[in-house]
Chains A and B, each alone.
Chain A
Amino acid sequence: MGTQKSKASPPAGGRADTKKKLPEHFRDYRHVWVFMELERGQVHPVSFELLGEGRRLADQLGAQLAGVILGPPGDSTQHAVAEAFAYDADLVYLVEKPLLTDYRNEPFTKALTDLVNKYKPEILLLGATTLGRDLAGSVATTLLTGLTADCTGLDVDADGSLAATRPTFGGSLLCTIYTLNCRPQMATVRPRVMRMPQRSNKPIGRVIRHNLRMWEDEIVTKVVDFLSDGQSENANLAYADVVVAGGLGLGAAENLQLLKNLAHTIGGDYGCSRPLVQKGWLAADRQIGQTGKTIRPRLYIAAGISGAVQHRVGVEGADLIVAINTDPNAPIFDFANVGVVADAISFLPALTEVFIKRLAPRNHMRLVN
């Protein structure tokens, strides 16, 4: 069990509070990188959200924005390269090798740390997905640099440092974290926390290829199988445009049907607060909030949910929040846009019916036209 080979150790003592001029060797570290998550041929949308953020940070720094793509040779990897530019990257670092087909920690960690050591980014952003967190933790430890988890806000401050803000204690407070005396500054961001930027038709630009010196027989872990969730109805909650969710106020598992009916009527997805998962009424991937999914729908309807801070942090990005609750003093009314003090059990069916009425004639008209 060996310890890490240590890099130039940071100047000892008093490191915390005074931020001085950046040390000389930091100047080599420039530009903003986004790790583009490619799994089984698909770019995870969080990568585009991060390119949007990365663009803003790079512009503030007067630096370039690069996408980092690790994948097998072939169309899907090339497609990811094109997408990086379409989401406004200035350049792409590309490692193509068959052993990068499925995500595994060992080759991905080596490929990404190799790139960082060679091309020295100032900021490196990854999605806080299972893949991103697995990879970011290894890479940061290999590089002996700081990593801020699950950020909800990223900014560059006056002296060019990355100010990464994340919720703490379940969202009741926020804290801003800096990485001092180490580069790159690394951060992970959850899907749906940042806005999806506009896609453009920007053509493919500069692609820098790196040759990963690693062979399959050096890699200990093998992927034996992949059991896809398939067309599991759960896949899209985080990215749904309309989400309807229920809480303990629904009273009984049977009443979830009212929720599903409404979701179905308006073409949305449904979710819940944590206690419903704990009671086994719905699967864990339906949970919305700090320890569940972050959603950013255009319309969020919460029925029988009190609006605890751990729930709130997962839904605040919604464009319009509607709350249905019997208690006029429920905390959810403090952050909802529209509130109805009503019994969800009788109100949800009425709401579903009204939607059916209001939406149906248009369908009809379109058919006639």
Chain B
Amino acid sequence: MHIVVCIKQVPDSAQIRVHPVTNTIMRQGVPTIINPYDLFALEEALKVRDYHGGEVTVLTMGPPMAEDALRKALTYGADRAVLLTDRHFAGSDTLATSFALSQAIAQIGNSFGTPDIVFTGKQTIDGDTAQVGPGIAKRLNLVQLTYVAKIASIELSARTITVERRSEGGTQVLKSELPCLITMLEGTASIRRGSLEDALRAARSEIVKWNAAEAGIEDITKCGLRGSPTVVKRVFAPTPRAEKAAQIDTTEKTVRDVADELVTSIFTHQPALEHELSSTGSA
């Protein structure tokens, strides 16, 4: 079977700082990583491939340096990598991103065989919308299975798939058909380490690079800023709270006295709570 995994290169947000004066993101020198959620999708794809046979193609849309993310994915064991890169993609919102990615997936289908499953992560850690997966599914007319916690079974001959999907208040067990798009939940299996063999292959591999035309995109107005209905108009810092916390003085007091003062303070701020807590609490 053929599986496509969409991965995004994102700034390592643990290391992002905001410029205190200009309120801009200081990206300089911030290392990039594969969106952590996408690694769960990649691992699941590799497991399905190992079990059922076939190939895993990883796909990213991004600047030329996004090649690093693809090479990393190859070291984990992906078989092929496609980089979709074109200045026309700059400024894409999720509608334009899912358009470009869906066109590229169709082209991957033409070139390397129609995918049976397309995987995405649950969401990214930068844009953080969780909209690209559903967007790709709709555009490619694939069945959409989001927040999948587990792939219970795949029957290749019958072209059916059964998954456990996280939903509000429980887990849905869904039976559906291939081809489909799966957005994988976090906390499933962690990404494998990848073999030495894979690492060597990754270093040598040729990465497929497509611009818009090569990906089969004819209507460039559906891409990038022009193809994006949403526009970020304003970026600003949240208003800081005017005052700092009122500190309970702890000098020369027993823990018990401090706790007593805190409870008094809580009930002064929230008088209604005193009554309500005493009626609901199990004290």
Contact = CB atoms under 8 A, between A and B. Distances in A.
A328 B249 CA distance: 12
A353 B103 contact: no
Given A1-B109, A149-B131, A169 B175 contact: no
B240 A334 contact: yes
B247 A340 contact: yes
Interface stretch (A69-77, A87-95, A138-146): A138-146
In this complex, the interface size class of chain B, counting residues with CB under 8 Å from chain A, is: 35 or more
A169 B25 contact: yes
A117 interface: no
A340 B250 contact: yes
Contacts of A224: 162, 173-175
Contacts of B269: 320, 337-338
A96 B222 CA distance: 36
A351 B259 contact: yes
A119 interface: no
B126 to A, nearest CB: 7
A44 B137 CA distance: 26
Contact of B229 (A146, A176, A223, A291): A146
B229 A182 contact: yes
A222 B174 contact: yes
A39 B168 CA distance: 8
Chain A, interface SS category: mixed
Given A337-B246, A338-B262, A225 B173 contact: yes
A173 interface: yes
B211 interface: no
Given A299-B270, A356-B283, A168 B235 contact: yes
Given A137-B133, A334-B241, A175 B173 contact: no
Interface string A131-165: 10110111011101111111000000000000100
Q: Which of A168, A328, A332, A366 has the most CB of B within 10 A?
A: A168
Contacts of B176: 220-222
B170 interface: yes
Contacts of B167: 39, 103, 130-131
A198 interface: no
A101 interface: no
In this complex, the interface size class of chain A, counting residues with CB under 8 Å from chain B, is: 35 or more
B230 interface: yes
Contact of B143 (A9, A180, A220, A337): A220
Interface stretch (A20-28, A49-57, A201-209, A227-235): A227-235
B221 A12 contact: yes
A169 B147 contact: no
Given A182-B229, A346-B255, A354 B245 contact: no
B268 to A, nearest CB: 10
A227 B235 contact: no
A173 B173 contact: no
Interface in B248-283: 248, 250, 255-256, 258-260, 262-263, 265-267, 269-270, 272-283
A146 B147 contact: no
12 contacts: A12-B226, A134-B146, A169-B126, A170-B125, A174-B238, A220-B177, A224-B174, A226-B172, A227-B170, A299-B266, A335-B245, A366-B279
Interface of B: 13, 16, 18, 23, 25, 93-95, 98, 102-103, 105-106, 109, 114, 125-126, 128-135, 137-141, 143-147, 162, 164, 166-177, 186-187, 219, 221-222, 225-226, 228-238, 240-241, 244-248, 250, 255-256, 258-260, 262-263, 265-267, 269-270, 272-283
Interface of A: 1-4, 6, 9-10, 12-13, 15-16, 37, 39-40, 44, 102-106, 109, 129-131, 133-134, 136-138, 140-142, 144-150, 163, 167-182, 220-230, 235, 241-242, 264-267, 284, 291, 298-299, 319-323, 328, 332-342, 346-347, 350-351, 353-356, 358-360, 362-363, 366
